[in-house]
A and B are shown apart, each in its own frame.
Chain A
Amino acid sequence: MSDHKYSEDHEWINVEGDIATVGISNFAQEQLGDVVFVDLPQVGAEVSKGDEVAVVESVKAASEIYAPLSGEIIAINEVLNETPETVNADAENGGWFFKIKLADEGEMDDLMDAEAYAAFAQG
């Protein structure tokens, strides 16, 4: 199991220092099917936990991606603009969406670890 944390909106979060990398879980990409388009936020945007910050569109549906934590968007994965299929191939690593410089590390407490998320996704 990875060191990733997970949100109830099926996002994974990997924190190094005060920088969180965010993507959608492998479970989420399986549910979505082939991803055809990812709309990423603007670098520099200030986001609050729960804000709609990105959209992922698959052959089945378009889904909003919510900021799992508050802070400033400091990087986006521009690879997804040209090859959205990276989300399917490598959801929890190369298919990351954006990086947030955290405003409140205390918000991390609400996230699940991999084991708890696996149980949540099954439920």
Chain B
Amino acid sequence: MNRQGRQTRPNEDGAGSAAKTTFTGHQALDHEEDLIFELGRDGQCGVDLPALEDMPDRLGGLLRDNEIGLPGISEPEVVRHYVRISRNNYAIDAGIYPLGSCTMKHNPRLNEKMARLPGLADIHPLQPTSTVQGALELIDTLAHWLKVVTGMPAVAMSPAAGAHGELCGLMTIRAALEARGEKRSRVLVPESAHGTNPATANFCGYKIQSIPANASGRVDLEALKAAVDDDVAAIMLTNPNTCGLFEDEVIEVAKAVHDVGGYFYCDGANLNALVGKVRVGDLGVDAMHINLHKTFSTPHGGGGPGAGPVVLSDALKAYAPVPWVTSGENGFNLQENATGEAAASIGRMKSFHGQMGMFVRALTYMMSFGCDGLPRIAEDAVLSANYVLACLKDHMSPSFDGYCMHEALFDEHFLDGTGVSTLDFAKAMIDEGFHPMTIYFPLVVHGAMLIEPTESESKASLDEFIETMIDLTKSAKEGDTTRFTEAPRLAFRKRLDETRAARSPVLRWRPPVDVAEAAE
């Protein structure tokens, strides 16, 4: 409960509510920060505005006649408010962030320096192209290197993030099929797929057919071959897949789909494991999005917008969304409309040319590594994950035998009989100062724990993580159940009530008077 009387912790409205331990409700220098609307005071204004002259009403009686309700607080109060709540956040800049399938790697500061250069930061997408030649060249250069890295002939730069890229890919596939006069109805999606894959296919009007995994955690090729026919538009496959395993029959998968005239969409979320080592064009891929905010180190997870350029095969490139950068005797230009050479384009997916700020950061990252350095990213990411797997495999239960790629997958079996669940285990990691890994995904294993350390972590950092995990597993097996079921005990917020949050979410703040009225 904060000083406004608003409940701030789960279960504190009933019996057994947590006793307030300090006068203010703050814990040391961690503040129980009020909402900005609760901080505001009536009649106070943080800015000096000139007195309004007497103006005639030109709004035909629509002039606002009640208070706008903005919080009345001063600039230092605003700054403190946001700094305080930002301190409750966890970020890759604060520690290891081992979220499987999210590639939370270090965002080099050089990227930020480049993105803040005035010639790149202070331009507008509607400026005449003659005044932004450098920016257009940058987009073109990044596009070139994305094509080289993936071995693909074309790239659509404008998609705004991974799922938007998936949509772009499937729309080009649908356009290609329509151009052939075909209307196919199914998209194949392996069991371990990211949830966005079936969502994208469904959004594009396709029916989803799930393809089971085999005992080694990869696509069951026989089941796939049994499923393909001339009604299949595409398969959407992540490689390495979300079990952290390389789809070793990917060539056969591509062939099976191509043989019936379908297309191969590759989900590029896990490209960090392949960059510089495998060209997806050589695997038979027709379209793949590249999460610049994962593989190429641009910020994400609340830190910045994603960016999801899509590389396209010869079969699909004619359908790429506009705009794209062209170059010729008169320098760089933009193909803005789906006319002329772009007549087959699916049109525009985004207002402008893509996430320019992310393009700058991604190109900076690629150029700092260089052609010879890029493979080290994948090598070190895979090495880090295998080090974690090797050190933990006798303590936890790996879901599949053998080496992994860039992420290590464990299931809940090592906790059998302990009374501790995957969720409890993850919460106990918070008490130990670690952001938990991805849990309960992928769905194909029971109580999944998907750890992706990335190449950013030093061996010392990995060792500290591993030693903590081993200590936790021992503790669970020795019966110290409350260390888990009551975790996090030391965090500013204790265990949140996820069920209640989902069943009866409070989605907006209302002034106390409204609350009182609503209760009546």
Question: What 1/0 flags go to A75-115 for Cβ under 8 Å of B?
Answer: 00000000011000000000000000000000000000000
Contact A36 B440 (CB under 8 A): no
Q: How near does chain B come to A105, taking the closest CB pair, in angstroms? A: 27
Cα distance A37–B504 in the bound complex, in angstroms:
10
Q: How near does chain A come to B47, taking the closest CB pair, in angstroms? A: 43
Question: How many of chain B's residues have a CB under 8 angstroms from any CB in A?
Answer: 7
Contact A61 B503 (CB under 8 A): no
CB-contacts of B480-510 with A (<8 A):
498-499, 502-503
**Which one of B195, B443, B499 lies within 8 Å of A59 (CB-CB)?**
B499
Contact B499 A34 (CB under 8 A): yes
Q: How near does chain A come to B425, taking the closest CB pair, in angstroms? A: 14
Residues of B within 8 A of A36 (CB): 499, 502-503
Contact B503 A60 (CB under 8 A): no
**Which residue of the partner chain B has the closest CB to A34?**
B499
Cα distance A70–B7 in the bound complex, in angstroms:
48
Contact B440 A61 (CB under 8 A): yes
Cα distance A62–B502 in the bound complex, in angstroms:
12
Q: How near does chain A come to B361, taking the closest CB pair, in angstroms? A: 33
Residues of B within 8 A of A59 (CB): 498-499, 502
**Which one of B443, B498, B503 lies within 8 Å of A85 (CB-CB)?**
B503
Cα distance A85–B497 in the bound complex, in angstroms:
14
Cα distance A85–B220 in the bound complex, in angstroms:
36
Residues of A within 8 A of B195 (CB): 62
Residues of B within 8 A of A84 (CB): 503
Cα distance A85–B503 in the bound complex, in angstroms:
9
Residues of B within 8 A of A60 (CB): 440
Residues of A within 8 A of B502 (CB): 34, 36-37, 57, 59
Cα distance A78–B361 in the bound complex, in angstroms:
51
Cα distance A61–B443 in the bound complex, in angstroms:
8
Main secondary structure of the interface of B (DSSP, over half): helix
Cα distance A84–B502 in the bound complex, in angstroms:
11
Identify which of B195, B498, B499 gathers the most chain A CB atoms within 10 Å of its CB. B499
Q: How near does chain B come to A107, taking the closest CB pair, in angstroms? A: 20
Residues of A within 8 A of B443 (CB): 61
Residues of A within 8 A of B498 (CB): 34, 59
Q: How near does chain A come to B22, taking the closest CB pair, in angstroms? A: 32
Cα distance A114–B502 in the bound complex, in angstroms:
32
Cα distance A60–B412 in the bound complex, in angstroms:
14
CB-contacts of A45-74 with B (<8 A):
57, 59-62
Q: How near does chain B come to A49, taking the closest CB pair, in angstroms? A: 15
Q: How near does chain B come to A32, taking the closest CB pair, in angstroms? A: 10
Cα distance A61–B444 in the bound complex, in angstroms:
12
Cα distance A61–B502 in the bound complex, in angstroms:
12
Residues of A within 8 A of B499 (CB): 34, 36, 59, 85
Q: How near does chain A come to B17, taking the closest CB pair, in angstroms? A: 22
**Which residue of the partner chain A has the closest CB to B499?**
A34
Cα distance A75–B443 in the bound complex, in angstroms:
31
Identify which of A37, A57, A60 gathers the most chain B CB atoms within 10 Å of its CB. A60
**Which residue of the partner chain A has the closest CB to B210?**
A64
Cα distance A19–B274 in the bound complex, in angstroms:
54
**Which residue of the partner chain B has the closest CB to A63?**
B443
Q: How near does chain B come to A57, taking the closest CB pair, in angstroms? A: 8
Cα distance A37–B443 in the bound complex, in angstroms:
18
**Which residue of the partner chain B has the closest CB to A61?**
B443
Residues of A within 8 A of B440 (CB): 60-61
**Which residue of the partner chain A has the closest CB to B439?**
A60
Cα distance A59–B447 in the bound complex, in angstroms:
12
Cα distance A34–B494 in the bound complex, in angstroms:
19
**Which residue of the partner chain A has the closest CB to B502?**
A36
Residues of B within 8 A of A57 (CB): 502
Cα distance A61–B499 in the bound complex, in angstroms:
12
Identify which of A36, A37, A84 gathers the most chain B CB atoms within 10 Å of its CB. A36
**Which residue of the partner chain B has the closest CB to A36?**
B502
Residues of B within 8 A of A34 (CB): 498-499, 502
Cα distance A28–B150 in the bound complex, in angstroms:
42
Cα distance A73–B46 in the bound complex, in angstroms:
59
Q: How near does chain B come to A101, taking the closest CB pair, in angstroms? A: 25
Residues of A within 8 A of B503 (CB): 36-37, 84-85
Cα distance A37–B505 in the bound complex, in angstroms:
12
CB-contacts of B366-411 with A (<8 A):
none
Residues of B within 8 A of A61 (CB): 440, 443
**Which residue of the partner chain A has the closest CB to B422?**
A60
Question: What 1/0 flags go to B60-83 for Cβ under 8 Å of A?
Answer: 000000000000000000000000
Cα distance A84–B503 in the bound complex, in angstroms:
8
Q: How near does chain A come to B438, taking the closest CB pair, in angstroms? A: 12
Question: What 1/0 flags go to B440-461 for Cβ under 8 Å of A?
Answer: 1001000000000000000000
Question: What 1/0 flags go to B301-314 for Cβ under 8 Å of A?
Answer: 00000000000000
**13 chain-A/chain-B pairs, Cβ below 8 angstroms:** A34-B502, A36-B499, A36-B502, A36-B503, A37-B503, A59-B498, A59-B499, A59-B502, A60-B440, A61-B443, A62-B195, A85-B499, A85-B503
For the complex of A and B, the 8 pairs showing the least CB-CB separation, nearest first, are A36-B502, A34-B499, A60-B440, A59-B498, A36-B503, A59-B499, A61-B443, A36-B499
Query: B residues within 8 Å of A by Cβ?
Result: 195, 440, 443, 498-499, 502-503
Extra contacts besides A34-B502, A59-B499 (15): CB < 8 Å? A34-B498, A36-B499, A36-B502, A36-B503, A37-B502, A37-B503, A57-B502, A59-B498, A59-B502, A60-B440, A61-B440, A61-B443, A62-B195, A84-B503, A85-B499
